[in-house]
Amino acid sequence: MKVTTILLLAVALPVAAVQSLASLEARPSAIPGPPGICFPLEIGNHASIPWGEGAFERDPDYSAKALADDVVQILDHSSHTIVHMETLRRAAILVGMPGKSNVLKPALRLAQKDRLLSLLRGRALKQFMQASESKSAQETDLGMALFDIGFFLGAVSQINSFGDGDGGLELKQASQLCADDGAIWLGYCLAGFESEGHRILPSTLKKACELAKNNPSLRLNLEQTVGPITGNSSYDEIVAWANLQSAKGK
């Protein structure tokens, strides 16, 4: 595994940003919304950015002036991938969502987006240096750090293309370094929504389903996120859909 190449590309050369969302090969005639941002993840009582009740209902009491630092603090203190995903989803909405409803003014949104990316890439660089010295748990930590970059970039690019990349490379490498983490594969499905085909990648969804088989929390999050996109309501139906799409070579 060429970890050096992986990191250099992740930190310095992000791939092209997602420009638009069109149609999805699934039962619905229209996409419910960008997969990386439209479906809140269930994190129970775990801490995240203050939020309202709905997918886009921001907490009016949260100024978000220190958003980037708040996000990194949450990520550093949580080992739960789903918590990372939901926190980054909320951050992506705050920095990427245009319009008067956003609590952040454009200049502050851009500044916080840039700072968060800088902090996330700095964390990945630190993990890379540690993984280079001792290949054990450090590679998993590097994978998680790359995943955070990839999920944030993917989610943001589904709202507003800043030209920072779509996170596809980082998500792919994270899935290789953390191959047994089903939530990583779910995040790859959602934030890695294929830009050219405008669809869920069956290979990533199949892997997420396999690892969710005996994981009730992951199964619930699959149903609440991938379910609406594919037009399925249960885990078993999502598995069947993923297998069918894979058999078709899509």
For the stretch 103-118, pLDDT in tens is: 678 888 899 999 999 9
Q: Which of 12-26, 66-80, 125-139, 157-171 has the highest mean pLDDT?
A: 66-80
SS (H, E, C) the chain: CCHHHHHHHHHHCCCCCCCCCCCCCCCCCCCCCCCCCCCCCCCCCCCCCCECCCCCCECCCCCCCCHHHHHHHHHHCCCCHHHHHHHHHHHHHHHHCCCCCCCCCHHHHHHHHHHHHHHHHHHHHHHHHHHHHCCCHHHHHHHHHHHHHHHHHHHHHCCCCCCCCCCHHHHHHHHHHCCCCHHHHHHHHHHCCECCCCECCHHHHHHHHHHHCCCHHHHHHHHHHHHHHHCCCCHHHHHHHHHHHHHCCC
Locate the domains of the chain by residue range. Answer: 3-16+31-180
For the stretch 120-172, pLDDT in tens is: 999 999 988 887 766 656 789 999 999 999 999 999 999 887 889 999 999 99
Who wins on pLDDT, 8 or 125? 125
Distance CA 160, CA 118 (A): 18
Distance CA 246, CA 240 (A): 10
Distance CA 180, CA 247 (A): 23
Find out whether 1 and 186 touch, Cβ atoms under 8 Å.
no
Who wins on pLDDT, 244 or 100? 244
Q: How far is CA 194 from CA 23, 55, 73, 200, in A?
A: 11, 22, 30, 6
Distance CA 233, CA 230 (A): 9
Distance CA 13, CA 153 (A): 13
pLDDT value of position 72? 98
**% of the chain beyond a pLDDT of 70:** 81
Q: Which residues contact 74 (CB under 8 A, 6 or more apart)?
A: 47, 48, 49, 83, 87
Q: Would you say how long the chain is, in residues?
A: 250
pLDDT value of position 106? 84
Q: Model's pTM, two decimal places?
A: 0.85
Distance CA 55, CA 118 (A): 26
Q: How many CA atoms lie within 13 A of 51 on its CB side?
A: 24
pLDDT value of position 64? 87
pLDDT value of position 12? 40
203 has pLDDT over 50:
yes
How many beta carbons lie within 10 A of that of residue 241, not counting itself?
A: 23
195 has pLDDT over 60:
no
